[in-house]
Amino acid sequence: MTRPHLHSRHTHGGLLSLDRYAQASRLSMVSPRLKAAFAVAVLLLCVAADSAAIGLVISAGMLAACIGCSGAPVRYILSLMAIPVAFILISCLAVIFDFSAAPLGFWDLPLPGALWLSATRAGLRAAGLLFFKAYGAVSCLYFLSLTTPMQELIEVLRAAHIPAICIELMYLIYRYLFLLLDMQNHLTIAARSRLGYADRRRAFYTFPRISGSVLAGAFRRSGICFDAMEARCYDGSLRFLTRHAPVRARHAAVCALIFFALAALAACIKYKGVDLF
């Protein structure tokens, strides 16, 4: 079975192309259960190792795996990888700074009420560790998302005996995100073609109207989607036609080799006491 061909240029950007690239992944013939087990195992190792160096190695390795195996353009993958950076940095700021009754760190800001906002070196080290651990874990999930289509992930969750209601809600929410993004994309293009974002005043005027149109369209599309599901004999259970790729020995051996190599590196770093911070 050949992989579907994807042109480098596509009509939808951002997350709208994620599932298309997963369908065309070079790992499409690898068992989704094996890919899911490998991604989860490496994620748990990244969190349990409690090492910034391991987080950095896992992040770099998963980025290389996404570029080499997903079939998506490098620029697209890098743009996806940049999305969680801002959210992780905001969380790290809460770790760096601390409130105290006296100046404690290398940077201190006096506040009303005899309080100080201090940035300590210990907080900076903890924030660095948190950043690399969180980003390594996110990279594992990106690897799974870019190499495994949603319908195969659903079958993996069903095999893991996740409650059916959770699986169906997850898929419907996931699918509806694409519908809403597509609707917002078309409305924004229409607004730009009519100079709706020509200046700041027009942008403030246009944005709430687009938001209201997306909200109204969401209710309308939800009814259409439910009618389409009922027309296809929906009985409360979603079923998908998926490929049943077996777990091959060579694929399992490669995954095990990579995992144990990472585990050995984590143990070595822990034993030597050497880390980025």
pTM of the model: 0.78
Asked if 182 and 237 sit in the same domain, the reply is yes
Asked if 141 and 160 sit in the same domain, the reply is no
Round to whole Å and give the CA distance between 129 and 72: 30
How many separate domains does the chain show?
2
**Residue 92's CB: how many other CB atoms inside 10 A?**
19
Q: In this structure, is residue 6 part of a structural domain?
A: no
For residue 107, the SS3 value is: strand
CA-atom Rg of the chain in angstroms: 23
All residues at 6 or more sequence positions from 194 whose CB lies less than 8 Å from its CB, including other chains? none
Asked if 184 and 234 sit in the same domain, the reply is yes
DSSP H helices in 70-120? 74-96
Structure tokens given for 101: 């009754």
| 66 burial via Cβ count (<10 Å: 0-12, 13-18, 19+) | buried
Structure tokens given for 80: 């996806």
Range of the domain at 204: 150-241
Task: Tell me the pLDDT tens digit for each residue of 46-59.
Answer: 999 989 999 999 99
Please report, in angstroms and rounded to a whole number, the separation of the first and last CA atoms in the chain.
48
Task: Tell me the pLDDT tens digit for each residue of 179-213.
Answer: 888 888 888 999 889 888 888 888 888 988 898 88
Asked if 133 and 201 sit in the same domain, the reply is no
17-46: string of b/e by CB count within 10 Å (b at 16+)?
bbbebbbbbebbebbbbbbbbbbebbbebb
Q: In this structure, is residue 33 part of a structural domain?
A: yes
Asked if 187 and 227 sit in the same domain, the reply is yes
Q: Tell me how far the alpha carbon of residue 207 is from its chain's centroid.
A: 26
Sheet holding 97-100, edge to edge: 97-100, 115-119, 107-111
For residue 19, the SS3 value is: helix
Q: What pLDDT does 277 receive?
A: 67
- Token look-up 């770099």 returns 60
Round to whole Å and give the CA distance between 41 and 180: 33
The percentage of residues in the chain with a pLDDT greater than 90, rounded to a whole number, is 27
Asked if 178 and 277 sit in the same domain, the reply is no
Mean per-residue pLDDT for 142-147? Answer: 91
Q: In this structure, is residue 32 part of a structural domain?
A: yes
Q: Is the pLDDT of residue 104 over 90?
A: no
Task: Give the bridge partners for 109, in sequence order.
Answer: 117
Asked if 18 and 47 sit in the same domain, the reply is yes
